[in-house]
Chain A
Amino acid sequence: MDRLTAAAGDDAAHEHAGTPALEVHRLGYSYPDGHRALHDVDLRVEPGERVALLGPNGAGKTTLALHLNGVLHGQTGRISVGGLKLTERNLHEIRRRVGMVFQDPDDQLFMPTVAEDVAFGPANFGLHGAALRRRIDEALEAVGMSEFGERSPLHLSGGQRKRVALATVLACDPEILVLDEPSANLEPVARRELAELLLGLNRTMLMVTHDLPYVLQLCPRSVLVDGGTVVADRPTRELLADTELLAAHRLELPYGFRLD
């Protein structure tokens, strides 16, 4: 439990003093049809930081996220995670270090039971026996789903599925969590519970989202991406208060919100 929640944030900072948790340097990518999705993207995330990745639909946010664990390969530029460069040879270790939580939990949860699904990642990374079982228990406990190990993911509510999806990634003990639209399709209470859970994890996080109030609550720093490049990189409150900047990139705070 403590290993999963408390450790990563503080210890990682001591371990790799000066080494960023994530470093993206001049990353460029074009889709096979020639559409240019990313262009010279630079991004540096320090250990323990929680950073939001904002931008309109089609800005390249998800494309960028899929580069971080080598699912997509940038044609130019480089990425390193905790000082380890992303190469074909390091791919397995990079995927352990970068925990991706996908938008639709049904894409992520594919095993017959919750426990088997949580076991899938760490087993792929070589854990077995008692150590694997302990890891499953810790991950399920961290998201408050210990009771549900033997249940089928099909029979859980949306919020529970989201938490289990998070557990499947936590179980791999990643150094950085990448979350794609974590608050999508959640009812208000489940949304708040997830926020509290994420804050309690105390891990390095990169969060792709449109949910600006959520960003304000969770991420001290925000990076605005549009047209495949980084347009702004500022403290969240400051960025969200810049209505002109938001409007220029098809973002706006929900009705009734004001930050200035």
Chain B
Amino acid sequence: MSAGHATLLHRPGGSPVHLAAPEVKIVAAFLTVLCVVATPRHVFWAFGGYLLLLFGVSAVAGVPARWVAKRLLIEVPFVVLALLLPFTAGGEQVAVLGLPLSVEGLLAGWNILAKGTLGLATSLLLAATTAPNDLLLGMQRLRTPQLIITISSLMLRYVELIVAEAGRMRIARISRGHDPRFLWQAGATARSVGSLFIRSYERGERVHLAMLARGWTGTMPEAQRRRPAPAWSRTRTWLLGLSPVGTSAVLLGVALWTA
């Protein structure tokens, strides 16, 4: 199963973080994000603590901070909103470099920026250290409903195909003189997104037909699934894997206490 998909976000490796059981990592990432989200926004030092924790984990995993930082750029559209809030929100004002800014807006913007960045960095670390198929395996071991597993695995299988199709459509447009840098040509891009959706939908239908033709009845056959790890190693990996979450929980506890 390891030789599966080309992986945009996965960085194969042999670090303890890579080797930890996927279900442990999923739970750890989820709980860490919960801690981050539950932290009151004005306890600034706690966010610094979470950041240090993530740095620690990425150092152990051998994931360079630069790699994570580059992929964090995906949050830029959301950050734009966070940057606007100090100017648009009302209430008490404070002057920063001569600019009158709303205190409430600054806090709200900070809240989005800090929690978004930490949450995204956590997911990136999870993705970097866990192969997509192992994520599915972890979800399965966590008793995620079979339908969601099936849908996710199909998504993994076809996402590359759809990206390739989008690439071909783009080249075909450009070959006919389309230049998406001009705003008035954005319509063509939008329409091709629409037709990409239709094509993907139709492919979905054909895939379903092909599955029916091979006797599919609605549940994936279990035959190929891997055996769960033995119990002794499971307790240990859970304890080890959840240790960063313990640190997050302590940070959260102190933050709530002092808030």
Contact = CB atoms under 8 A, between A and B. Distances in A.
A102 interface: yes
B141 interface: no
B210 A152 contact: no
B215 A104 contact: no
Interface in A103-150: 104, 106-108, 110-113, 115-116, 119-121, 123-125, 127-129, 132, 150
Interface stretch (A4-12, A47-55, A92-100, A199-207): A92-100
A71 B212 contact: yes
Nearest to B204: A107
Interface string B191-222: 00000000000010011011111111100011
Residue of B5, B207, B209, B213 with most partner-chain A CB within 10 A: B213
A155 B206 CA distance: 21
Interface residues of B, number: 30
B95 to A, nearest CB: 57
B156 A112 contact: yes
Contacts of B217: 92, 124
A121 B5 contact: no
A229 interface: no
B64 interface: no
A69 interface: yes
A245 interface: no
Residue of A66, A100, A120, A132 with most partner-chain B CB within 10 A: A120
Q: How large is the interface on A (under 10, 10 to 19, 20 to 34, 35 or more residues)?
A: 35 or more
A179 to B, nearest CB: 12
B212 A112 contact: no
Contacts of B94: none
B157 A110 contact: yes
Given A95-B215, A120-B221, A124-B214, A151 B206 contact: no
B4 A100 contact: no
Interface in B203-259: 203, 206-207, 209-217, 221-224
A147 to B, nearest CB: 12
Contacts of B160: 154
Given A110-B157, A125-B215, A154-B5, A132 B223 contact: yes
Contacts of B1: 112-113, 116, 150
A172 interface: yes
Contact of B211 (A66, A110, A154): A110
A63 to B, nearest CB: 12
A112 B223 contact: no
Interface in A145-179: 150-152, 154-155, 168-169, 172
B205 to A, nearest CB: 9
A121 B214 contact: yes
A102 B214 CA distance: 11
B215 A111 contact: no
Nearest to A69: B213
B153 interface: yes
A127 B214 CA distance: 13
A106 to B, nearest CB: 6
B158 interface: yes
B6 interface: yes
Contact of B3 (A100, A125, A150): A150
A154 B6 contact: yes
B207 A107 contact: yes
A164 to B, nearest CB: 13
A106 B206 CA distance: 10
B154 interface: yes
A168 B207 CA distance: 14
Interface string B30-59: 000000000000000000000000000000
Given A112-B153, A154-B6, A71 B213 contact: yes
Given A95-B214, A123-B221, A123-B223, A107 B156 contact: no
Contacts of A155: 6
B76 interface: no
B161 interface: yes
Interface of A: 66, 69, 71, 92, 95-96, 98-100, 102, 104, 106-108, 110-113, 115-116, 119-121, 123-125, 127-129, 132, 150-152, 154-155, 168-169, 172
10 contacts: A69-B213, A71-B213, A100-B213, A106-B161, A107-B206, A110-B157, A119-B224, A124-B221, A154-B6, A154-B157
Given A106-B203, A128-B221, 14 more contacts: A71-B209, A96-B215, A107-B203, A112-B5, A112-B156, A112-B157, A119-B221, A120-B214, A121-B214, A151-B3, A154-B6, A154-B160, A154-B161, A155-B6
